[in-house]
Structures are given as structure tokens and as C-alpha cells.
Amino acid sequence: MLTKRIIPCIDVDLDEDGNAAVYTGVNFEDLEYTGDPVEMAKRYNEAGADEFVFLDITASAEGRATMLETVERVADEVFIPLTVGGGVRTREDIKETLRAGADKVSINSGAIANPDLIEDGARAFGNQCIVISVDARRRFDEGGEHYVDIDGESAWFECTVKGGREGTDMDVIEWVQEAEERGAGELFVNSIDADGTKEGYDIPLTKAVTDTVSTPVIASSGCGGPEDMYEVFTEADADAGLAASIFHFGEYSIQETKEYLDERDVPVRL
């Protein structure tokens, strides 16, 4: 049986002095300084994380390139698979991100604007390198294609771009099907509604995606503790659980989280 992966994530932006810094927020807003990306990467590498995710959270919105100098410094500190996202728009961007030390490249806005980028990237660098990130939000109207019941209401999930700042009217389920067909090696599913709340992953969203595709799914946003990881693995069949603030602020360690899951017969790498 494949083990479930525990993945810490850092959201990186430029501070007032133009230096890379990690920020943590709620619902993709109200960001607060959390730490230095290189130091945090080093800490998680030593803590037993299965993988590590570095997201440049304003590159797409600001139309700038990913901060590859910082990625290089992070890559020097981690000896586990490193996924880097933010501002990736072209095959050359993918190439440069991998050259900077990333093992995988996470793409959201760039793939929605140009879906052929998924095929181009997979063909050039291998499916395993191409992670399609989905920033999803709930909508309770008639604009979607696939609906789920949420607390007695019918809802669908919309893809957003530019760090959740813009809607697309695209149904998440339609998009993940297309991304899989085009060669995505992994799907990184973020919930804007759950982000930073620590009230648990968006189970309806994650399950809707895992029920639709066979591509591995990373569940993200809302983790408040090991019990939420257990829920997303057992109820939504996610392949990996991503978390940020519970690890950043020392509320739980990666080791504690893995032991909790192991005791409940969830396969993890101890």
C-alpha cells in the first residue's frame, strides 16, 4: 500500500525591502510575516517531512517571475522532493524552475490561460514534474457543471487565478479531468474557503476531485491538526496532506502527526 505523504508548505512573498519572506493568512488574505524561507526549509527537511512545497504567492498576480534565487537557496537545504509554484507561464519557466533545484513545478494561472502548457511540460520534462494547482472556491449558484451537497445546499467549485484574486467561471471538476487527460502528474487542491481556518480540509471538494481522477491528489488548506489529516485520508482518499501554520508555529510536529496516523492504521513513512 502506498504511504500517505505529509507535506509542509511555505507561502513566500517579497517584504518591504524586497527580500523573500514567508507569510501566513486566512482565506488567502490578511497575511502576516512568519519567517525566513531558507531557515524554514532546513527545519522541515530535518523534521521528517515527506516533501516540501514553496509557493511564490504574488508572482502570478504581479506578472513577475518566480524568485528563483531563493528557490536555489531552499533547494540547497532540502533533500526531499521540492515542489515550486508561482508565476510559471511557459515551458521555459518550467525549465528554469527545475534548473533552480525544484523536482516538481506547480502551475495554476499559467495552465488555465494556456492548457497546452500541461502537455508541453509533461512531454519535455515528464509527467512527474508537472503539478496542476487548483485554487477552488465554493459557489452556490447555477453556474457550475458538477454539484455536491454541503450542509443541505447545492454547491459547485470554481477555479480561481492570480492567488485567488480572480474567478474564472470554470468548474473545478471539469478542469481536473482536462488536466489529467493533458498529462498532469499530480493535482494540488487548495480551498479558498478553508484556507487558514484550521477547521479541517474541504472534504466535499477533495472527495469530488479524488472521485473524478486517478491522478494523485494533494489536499491543502484548513488543516488544524492530525485528526484533520486522518479525515482527509480516510473520507476523501487524498494521497497527501499539506499543512502550513500548524507546523510553522509548533502546534504539532511532523513526527507527532505521523505517529497519530500510524496508530490509526493510516500508512505513513515513519
Joined together, the cell numbers standing for residue 35 give 519567517
Is it the case that residue 76 has pLDDT exceeding 90?
A: yes
Joined together, the cell numbers standing for residue 235 give 473520507
**Cα–Cα distance, 183 to 152 (Å, whole number):** 35
DSSP track, the chain = -PPBEEEEEEEEEE-TTS-EEEEEEETTEEEEEEE-HHHHHHHHHHHT-S-EEEEETTHHHHT----HHHHHHHHTT--S-EEEESS--SHHHHHHHHHTT-SEEEESHHHHH-THHHHHHHHHH-GGGEEEEEEEEEE-SS--SS-EEETTEEEEEEEEETTTTEEEEEEHHHHHHHHHHHT-SEEEEEETTTTTT-S---HHHHHHHHTT--S-EEEES---SHHHHHHHHHHS--SEEEESHHHHTTSS-HHHHHHHHHHTT--B--
Joined together, the cell numbers standing for residue 123 give 512531454
Q: Check residue 61 and give its pLDDT.
A: 74
Categorize the per-residue pLDDT at 72 as very low, low, confident or very high, splitting at 50, 70 and 90: very high
Q: Check residue 29 and give its pLDDT.
A: 65
User: Three-class SS string for 5-47?
Assistant: EEEEEEEEEECCCCCEEEEEEECCEEEEEEECHHHHHHHHHHH
Average pLDDT value for residue range 81-86: 96
Catalytic residues: 11, 135
Lowest mean pLDDT among 15-24, 113-122, 211-220: 15-24
The rounded percent of the chain whose pLDDT value lies above 70 is 98
Average pLDDT value for residue range 235-262: 96
Q: Does 3.30.1550.10 match the CATH number of domain 5-263?
A: no
Categorize the per-residue pLDDT at 28 as very low, low, confident or very high, splitting at 50, 70 and 90: low
Categorize the per-residue pLDDT at 57 as very low, low, confident or very high, splitting at 50, 70 and 90: confident
Lowest mean pLDDT among 54-68, 100-114, 224-238: 54-68
Is it the case that residue 101 has pLDDT exceeding 90?
A: yes
Is it the case that residue 123 has pLDDT exceeding 70?
A: yes
Average pLDDT value for residue range 194-211: 96
Average pLDDT score over the chain: 94
Is it the case that residue 256 has pLDDT exceeding 90?
A: yes
The rounded percent of the chain whose pLDDT value lies above 90 is 85
Is it the case that residue 143 has pLDDT exceeding 80?
A: yes
Q: Check residue 58 and give its pLDDT.
A: 81
Is it the case that residue 49 has pLDDT exceeding 70?
A: yes
Is it the case that residue 200 has pLDDT exceeding 70?
A: yes
Domain boundaries, the chain: 5-263
pTM of the prediction? Answer: 0.93
The more confidently predicted of residues 87 and 261 is 261
**Cα–Cα distance, 51 to 6 (Å, whole number):** 7
Q: Check residue 30 and give its pLDDT.
A: 65
Is it the case that residue 31 has pLDDT exceeding 80?
A: no
Is it the case that residue 71 has pLDDT exceeding 70?
A: yes
Q: Check residue 19 and give its pLDDT.
A: 86
Is it the case that residue 150 has pLDDT exceeding 90?
A: yes
Categorize the per-residue pLDDT at 220 as very low, low, confident or very high, splitting at 50, 70 and 90: very high
